Structure 1
Amino acid sequence: MVPLDWLVGLLVLVAMRAIRALGPDRASNLGAAILPAIAPLIPANRTGLANLKAAFPEKPDAEIRTILRGVWENLGRTAFEYACMDDLWDYDPARPSEGRIVTTQADLYERLRDDGKPAIFFAAHLANWEMPAVAAAAHGLDTTALYRMPNNRFVARAIQRIRGRTMGKMVASGGGGVLHLARELEAGNHVGMLIDQHLHRGVHVTFFGRTVRANPTAARLAREFECPVHGVRVIRLPGNRFRLEATEEIVLPRGGDGRIDVKAAMQAMTDVVEGWVREHPEQWLWLHRRWR
C-alpha cells in the first residue's frame, strides 16, 4: 500500500506544480471548466441535487441545476487555486477595494491581534474556504486552524507544505488536536475551525429546517475559556476576486448556570452559516451528506 500511496502522492505533487505554473487566474478558470464537465459522472452530484431540492423546495428544477453547476465550478476553482495559495493574497490596506482580496474589516483583525485575548473563529465550506486562515496569518494573528488530515500521508505532507507557507499554524482534527487548540487559547492565542460538516457524535442542531449533527468543539472551547467567538466567511466575486467578511463577537446563549450552553451556542453559529449559504448557495459545498 505504501508504494501506491507514494505514487498517488507523487502524481498529486506533479499536478500541483503544473497547475501552479499557470498562475492563480488561469488555474482557477481551468478548474471551473473541468469539474462541471465531469460532475454528472461523480456520485456526489446526486447528493448535491437531492440536498438542494430539499433545502429549496420552492425553487424550480432549472434554478436548482444552475446552482449545482455553480457548486461544481466553485469546487473546481478552489481545488486548482490550492496550488497557488501563496499567490492569491494581495490585499493592500492602501487600496482595500482594488486587489484580488477585498475587505473593509482590517481594523477588526488588528484589534483582535493587539487585544491580548484569545478568540475563536468559525467558518464554513464557502467559496475558497482556506482564505480565512490566510487572512488571519496575513494580518499577524497568532492563529491555529483545525483541519482534517488526508488519508494519504504523502499527499498530506504536500498539502502541509502549502498551508505552512500561507496559513500559520495547523493542527489535525481529533482528540489531540482539540487539546492543542485548548493550549493555544490558554496562551492567549486564536483558533479557527470549519463547523458545517457532519460529526456522528456531534450535537443536534437545525440546518435548513432539518436536524443535523454539528461538531461542538467551538462551543465547548468558548464555554471553557469564556473567549469571544467570531464568524468568518469568504465570498467569491467576479474576476477571480474575493471579499472577506468577519462578524463582531457573537453573543452565545447561556444556561441557567450562567455558562455558555453548548447545544444552543452551536445552533446560533449554525444559524449564521445558514444565512451565509442562503446568500450564495452556489458557493457552498452541497456535495457531502450533511443530513443523515
Structure 2
Amino acid sequence: MSTPGRTPSDWIVDRLWRGVIWVALRLPHRVRVAVMGWLFRTVVGPLTGRKRQADKNLAMVYPDMPAAQRAQITRAVLDNVGRVVMENYATPHQMTRALTWEPTGPGWAAAEQARAQGRPILFISGHYGNYQAGRAALNARGYRMGGLYRPLNNDYLNAHYIATIEDVGGGAFTRDRRGLAGFVKHLRSGAQGAILIDQYLFDGPIFDFMGHPAPTSTAATEMALKYDALLVPIYSTRLENGLDFRIELEAPVPHTDAETMTQALNDSLTARVHAAPEQWFWVHNRWKPERAEKALRRAQGKA
C-alpha cells in the first residue's frame, strides 16, 4: 500500500519535474527564468487549476475589477511563480545576483544594529515577488537567516525543495515540533529567521487580510515576544528586467501583543499587494472563505 506523499503518481510527477529542471538548468540563466515563466503562464497554471484559483481570489478581493484586468494580473502572477521556482533551483546564480541587490528601507538600519548587538531578528514576508530573494541578499552580506517552511505534500518533490531553501544559507526548518525547536535554537543563538505569514492555517485564529477573514498563525509574533526578537517586514519586489529585485525592509513592528502584531504584519502585506497585485501569489487558496467564516462565528460564540 502506498503512503501519503509517496504514491506512484507522486513519484511520476517528481521524475517529470526533475527532468524539466535538469533541462532548464542547462540554459543560460536569463533564458531559463523566462522559459519557466512562460511554462507556468501557459501550461502549468491552467492545467493545475492555479489560474482559476488566482482569478477567483482576485474577484473576491476586487469585485469591481474588470475580467480582462483580472486575466492580465493572473498571467503576470503565473509568470512570476514560474520565475521564482526556476530562480530558487538556480541558487548559485541567485546568490551572485543577490550581491547587487542593496537592502533599503527603515528596517535595514535597525536590522544592522540588532545583528551587531547579537539580538535575534525575525524577518516576515509573504509569497510576494521572490520571497527567497531577501534571504539571499542578506545572507550574501553575512546574515544567517534560516527559513521556516511547510513541507510539500509530495515527499519526493520535498526532498529537493528543501535543498533550494538550505542552499541560500542559514538552514531550513520544518513547521513541526522538531523543526520549530531547531528554529528557536537558531534564533536564540543570535541568528535570524524568515517566516512567510500568508499561508492558510486550518485551526489558526482569524485576522483580517485584504478585507476578508483569514486564519493566520501567531507563531512569529509569539516568538518575537518570547525571545525579544526584532520583527521586521521584508519584501523583494521583482523589477522590470524580470531578474532582479528591490529589497525593502520596513520599520520593525513594535512589541505589544501577539494579536496586534500579527494584524500589523497582515496590514503590511496587504498594502504591498494592493500597490502591486501582480507580485503576490494569488494562486494559493489563502482564505477558504467557508471555513474561515465558520471559524469566525465560533470565535464570536455564534455557532
TM-score, with structure 1 as normaliser: 0.86
Deviations 1:206-250 (A, max 9, x none): 011111111111011012112210011110011122111112322
Q: Aligned partner of 1:193: which letter?
A: I
Matched, 1:275 2:271: yes
Further displaced range: 47-56 or 108-117? 108-117
1:228-243 alignment, distance < 5 Å: 228-239=230-241, 240-243=243-246
CA RMSD, 1 decimal: 2.3
Further displaced range: 149-158 or 187-196? 149-158
Matched, 1:201 2:197: no
Q: What's 1:244 paired with?
A: 247
Matched, 1:16 2:21: yes
Give distance in 2, aligned partners of 1:142 and 1:82: 18
Give 5+ residue unaligned stretches, structure 1.
Answer: 94-98, 255-260
Deviations 1:95-147 (A, max 9, x none): xxxx4x35446756543432211111111101112212222321211222101
Which residue of the other structure, out of 3, 23, 28, is the alignment partner of 2:33? Answer: 28
**1:3 Cα shift?**
8.2
1:268 aligned counterpart, secondary structure? helix
Deviations 1:148-198 (A, max 9, x none): 222333332323333333232111112222222222232222111100011
Question: 8 Å contact 2:98–2:140 — kept in the other structure?
Answer: no
Deviations 1:28-85 (A, max 9, x none): 1102212221233432322211210121123222212111111111111112222212
Distance 1:185 1:41, change over 3 A: closer
Count of aligned pairs between the two proteins? 279
Question: 8 Å contact 1:71–1:286 — kept in the other structure?
Answer: yes
Q: Aligned partner of 2:244: which letter?
A: R
Give distance in 1, aligned partners of 2:202 and 2:164: 30
Give distance in 1, aligned partners of 2:279 and 2:82: 11
1:107-186 alignment, distance < 5 Å: 110-186=112-188
Question: 8 Å contact 1:109–1:136 — kept in the other structure?
Answer: no
Distance 1:165 1:42, change over 3 A: closer
Give distance in 2, aligned partners of 1:170 and 1:265: 24
Distance 1:85 1:91, change over 3 A: closer
- Looking at secondary structure, tell me which structure has more strand per residue: 1
Give distance in 1, aligned partners of 2:156 and 2:77: 28
**1:10 Cα shift?**
4.1
2:247 aligned counterpart, secondary structure? strand
Further displaced range: 15-24 or 197-206? 15-24
Q: What's 1:258 paired with?
A: none
Q: What's 2:46 paired with?
A: 40
Q: What's 1:284 paired with?
A: 280
**1:277 Cα shift?**
0.8
Give distance in 1, aligned partners of 2:7 and 2:184: 37
Identity value in percent: 24
Give distance in 2, aligned partners of 1:88 and 1:212: 32
Which residue of the other structure, out of 50, 59, 68, is the alignment partner of 1:62? Answer: 68
Matched, 1:52 2:48: no
